[in-house]
Structure 1
Amino acid sequence: MWDVHNASPIGKSFRGHSSLVSSVIYSPLHNLIASGSWDKTIRLWDTNKSQQWGVPLKGDYPLHSIAFSPDARLIASGSGGTYTGPRGNYVQLWDVQKRKVASVPLKGHTCPVMSVSFSPNGAQVVSGSEDCTIRIWDIEKEKTIIGPLEDHTGWVRSTAFSPNGTQIVSCSYDRTLRLWDVRNEEMIGDPYKGHTDDIYSVAFSPCGTYIASGGKDKTVRLWDIGTGRQVNQPFKEYTSHVNSVAFSPCGQYIACGFINRKVVIRKVSGEDDELDNGRGPEPEVVTSEMVQYDCVLGYHSI
C-alpha cells in the first residue's frame, strides 16, 4: 500500500502467494485487502496489522480477476487457463466469513474469465473473457441474465459497471472500448477508438461521466461518455505498458500501474507523481486500486 500524499509505502509488503498475483482489491469496509493469484488461491490481508487474515480461499484453477461485493460479504472470481481445458473457465462466488464457495460455478464462457465486477446493488456480476464475450450474471439465480454480448473481436480484458448500475464498459485486445446499456442489452453509440494496441484496463469515474483506459500503447486516455470522445489529448506517453488504471474516490486522480514496476498517480488535469519503493527491482505491477488517500498495488508476488 502507498500513501499518495508523500509517495511512500505504508507498512510492509504482503507476501504468501507462490505465483503471479493477478488481482488486488480493497474491501468496501476498508479493513481488508484481497488478492487473487495464478496459484489458485485468494488471500485476505488485514490492512491494520499488515498480515494475512485467516486461511486462503482455495480454488481449482488459476485466478485472473477478483471483486468484492458492495457489502463485502462475497468475493467473485474469474478463472481459467491454457492447460486447464474448458472446465476451469467460470465465475465463482465466495463467502468471505465462512471461507467457502457461495455458489455453483457460473459457467458459460468458453475461455478464461479475465475480468469480474459487481453491480452497485450487489445483485449482478459482469464478466469478460478471452472468448471475446461479456456476460452479466444474477448471483441469486446463479445464471446468465444478459449476454453473451459478442461485439468485441478480441479478448475482453476488463469490464466495469457504472456507479448507477445502468451501464457497463468493456475494453479489449481489439483496441476498442465499448459502452453498454444494461437495460436493453445494446451497445451505446460507436466503439471508442484511439488506442493503437491492446487495451488492458478500464474504469469509470465516481460520478460516472468519464472513463479511464490504459494499455499496451503506453498511454492513459480519458473519455467523456456523453460524447463518446476523448477528453483532450492522451496523458503523456510513458515508457511501459499500462496494466491497470483506477480512479480515486474524489475522481481527481488516476492510479496507473506499469509493467516496468512503476506506479504513477495522475491528476486528471495536472502533473504526475511517481511511486517507487526504493527497494530495488520488483516484478511488474499487474493491478492497482485507490481508496481514499491510499493506493494498493499487486505485483507478481504478494
Structure 2
Amino acid sequence: MRGHTRWVNGVTHFPDGRRIITCSSDGSLRLWDLKSGTQIGEDWRDENPGVWSMALSPNGEIVASGCDDGKVRLWDVETRKVMGKLTGHTKVVFALCWSADGERVASGSGDGTATIWDVKRRENILTIKTGHTWVRATMRGHTDWVNGVAHLPDGRRIITCSSDGSLRLWDLKSGTQIGEDWRDENLGIFSMALSPNGEIVASGCGYGKLRLWDVETRKVMGKCMGHITIVSALCWSADGERVASGYWDGIARVWD
C-alpha cells in the first residue's frame, strides 16, 4: 500500500479485520482496504501537522492521533472528522494508549511528560486539589523524549519509556513514580509494548536490541538482537506468544 509521502509512524487494525489505518509525518491519516490494498476515501487531515502516533479506541469508534504541534486529536471513524482536541503538551506527541474501558487516553511527549486525559470531558484528569484551586499535575522524571506509554490492566498504573534509557512505572492517582527507574545498559528506548496479560514489557532500543521485562520484578528476563539500527516499533500478537518489531532500516521481524 503506497500513498504517504513521508514516514509511516503508526498502523492499526480495525475490529472488522478488513481495514487498517495509518498515520504519517506527511500530516495525514489514511484508511486502507486490506483485500484490495487501496485507500478508502480521502486523507484525514486537520491543520496538516505531522502525525507521529496513533491509537484506536477499544470499541473501534475513535482514533487518537499525536501530532508535532503538541495536540492530541480525536477522530470519529464514521465521519472521519476531528471531534475534539486535547491541548497541553508543548512538543511532539510520540506515544498514545487507550485505557481498557475507552474512557481515558495516555499521551507521551517530547516535552518529557506523560498525561492522562478524560476523553468525554476533553480534560487532563491527573489533577490535585490544593484547597485553593485546581492545579494541573503531569508526571515528570524522564530527562528526554517520552517515546512510549502503556496502561497496565489494573487501570491504576502506566509505564513510560524514554530516550533517556529508562522505563518508569507511575501511580495514576498520585502522579508519582513507583520505585526506581528500569534500566539496562542505559540505551535509549524508542518503543515499548505491553503483553496482552500485562506481565511482560517489550522495549526497543538503539543498536537493534529488544528487551523483555518482567513487570513484577522489573528486571530484564530476555534479550533479542535483530539489527544494528533503532527498534522503532513493537507489537504483541493477541495470544502473547510473539512480538513483532520494526526497525529504522525498514526491516520488520517476528520473535517467538
1:48 aligns with 2:29: no
Distance in 2 of aligned mates of 1:59 and 1:215:
32
Equivalent residue for 1:294? Answer: none
* Cα deviation 1:59-91 (Å, max 9, x = unaligned): 2211100111111100001111xxxxxxx2111
Equivalent residue for 2:71? Answer: 90
Equivalent residue for 1:245? Answer: 234
Contact 1:123 1:138 in 2 (8 A): yes
Contact 1:25 1:35 in 2 (8 A): yes
Give the alignment partner of residue 106 of structure 1, picking from 74, 86, 91.
Answer: 86
Distance in 2 of aligned mates of 1:110 and 1:246:
27
Equivalent residue for 1:223? Answer: 213
Q: Give how far 1:244 is off.
A: 1.2
- Any runs of at least 4 consecutive aligned residues in structure 1 with deviations exceeding 4 A, and if so which? none
Q: Could you say what the CA RMSD is over the residues aligned between the two structures, in angstroms?
A: 1.5
Give the TM-score normalised by the residue count of structure 1.
0.77
Q: Give how far 1:237 is off.
A: 5.7
Contact 2:22 2:30 in 1 (8 A): yes
Partner-residue secondary structure (3-state), 1:243 = strand
Compare 24-33 and 244-253 and name the one that shifted more: 24-33
Contact 1:113 1:129 in 2 (8 A): yes
Equivalent residue for 2:122? Answer: 142
Change in Cα spacing, 1:143 to 1:195, as seen in structure 2 (3 Å) is farther
Change in Cα spacing, 1:19 to 1:261, as seen in structure 2 (3 Å) is closer
Distance in 1 of aligned mates of 2:150 and 2:143:
19
Change in Cα spacing, 1:162 to 1:31, as seen in structure 2 (3 Å) is farther
Alignment of 1:211-290 (within 5 A): 211-232=201-222, 234-236=223-225, 238-267=227-256
Q: Which amino acid is 1:236 matched to?
A: M
Equivalent residue for 1:128? Answer: 108
Distance in 2 of aligned mates of 1:137 and 1:180:
15
Give the alignment partner of residue 141 of structure 2, picking from 135, 151, 158.
Answer: 151
* Cα deviation 1:189-238 (Å, max 9, x = unaligned): 21110043211101110000110001113210000111111114x22363
Contact 2:11 2:22 in 1 (8 A): yes
Q: Give how far 1:164 is off.
A: 4.1
Q: What is the percent sequence identity of the aligned residues? A: 34
* Cα deviation 1:221-264 (Å, max 9, x = unaligned): 000111111114x2236322211111111111111111222211
1:74 aligns with 2:62: yes
Contact 1:198 1:217 in 2 (8 A): no
1:33 aligns with 2:25: no
Unaligned ranges ≥5, structure 2? 127-136
Change in Cα spacing, 1:124 to 1:153, as seen in structure 2 (3 Å) is same
Equivalent residue for 1:293? Answer: none
Contact 1:156 1:170 in 2 (8 A): yes
Equivalent residue for 2:133? Answer: none
Give the TM-score normalised by the residue count of structure 2.
0.91
Unaligned ranges ≥5, structure 1? 1-13, 81-87, 268-302
Give the alignment partner of residue 180 of structure 2, picking from 183, 186, 190.
Answer: 190
Contact 1:202 1:212 in 2 (8 A): yes
Contact 1:43 1:57 in 2 (8 A): yes
